[in-house]
Amino acid sequence: MWGFEPADAAVSTADLFQKNGLKEILIPGFGYGRNAKVFIAKGMNVTGIEISETAIELAKNHFGESIKVYHGGVNDMPFDKKMYDGIFCYALIHLLNEKERVALIDNCYKQLQPGGYMVFVAISKNTATYGKGSAISKDRYETTHGIKLFYYDYVSVAREFGGYGLIEAKEIDEPAKNLEKKSSMKFWRITCRK
C-alpha cells in the first residue's frame, strides 16, 4: 500500500538509534516491514507487533524467518518479557482512542531499557485533513472512509508523553518531499528517553 521504501522518519530514527548504539528494536504497528528495513540494514535486531495476518505474511515473504513479528493488537502488549533499546511507532498512535493511546505509550515505556529511546510519529493538527469528517471528540474525527484519527498539537504531545521522558517534539513533513502522487502531510516526531 505504501511501497517498500521506508518512511523518512524511519530513516532519521534509525540514524538516532545507531548513533546511540541501540541494538534491540521493537516496532509496534509493524505492517509488512517497510520501516524495519532501515534498522536491519544498520545491524539492529527488529521485533514487530502487527494485527494484520496479511501484512505479516507479506513481511515473511520479504524477510523470511529472520524477523519475529507477533500477531496481535498493540492493546495486547506485552507479547514478550524482553526489554528493548529502541521503540519506533510510525503513524499508529493517532488511530487509537485516548485510553488506548495512553496504554500504548505506557506499555512501550515499560519494555524500554533504561537509557533507551522511543520515537512515535503521529498526525498533526496542522495537516490539511484536520477537522474534516465527523467529530468524535476534541481533535478526533472519523473520515469518510471510516478511519478515526486523533490530531496532535504540542499541548496534547506534552500531555500524553510528558511523563515518559519526552526530550523532543518536532513537527515534520512526511514524506519530506512531495513525491509523484504523494503530497506531504504534517506529523509530529516525538522522541522520549528512559
Question: Exposed/middle/buried for 30, CB within 10 Å: 0-12, 13-18, 19+?
Answer: buried
- 8 A C-beta contact, residue 153 and residue 125: yes
Reference 28, options 52, 61, 44, 62; nearest CA is 52
Q: Cell digits for 57?
A: 505474511
Instruction: Please give the pLDDT value at position 152.
Output: 98
* pLDDT in the model for residue 86: 98
Look up residue 127 and give its DSSP letter: S
Right CATH number for 8-193 from 3.40.50.150, 3.30.70.1560, 3.10.20.310, 3.90.440.10? 3.40.50.150
Nearest partner of 10 among 157, 162, 189, judged by Cα: 189
Residue 1 has what pLDDT?
47
Domain range annotation of the chain: 8-193
CB 85 within 8 A of CB 24: yes
Per-residue pLDDT of the chain (194 residues; tens, 9 = 90+): 456 789 999 999 999 999 999 999 999 999 999 999 999 999 999 999 999 999 999 988 888 777 899 999 999 999 999 999 999 999 999 999 999 999 999 999 999 999 999 999 999 999 999 999 999 999 999 998 899 999 999 999 999 999 999 999 999 998 765 555 567 899 999 999 99
Secondary structure letter of residue 153 according to DSSP: -
Task: Give Cα 148 distance to the centre of its chain.
Answer: 16
| pLDDT given at position 176 | 63
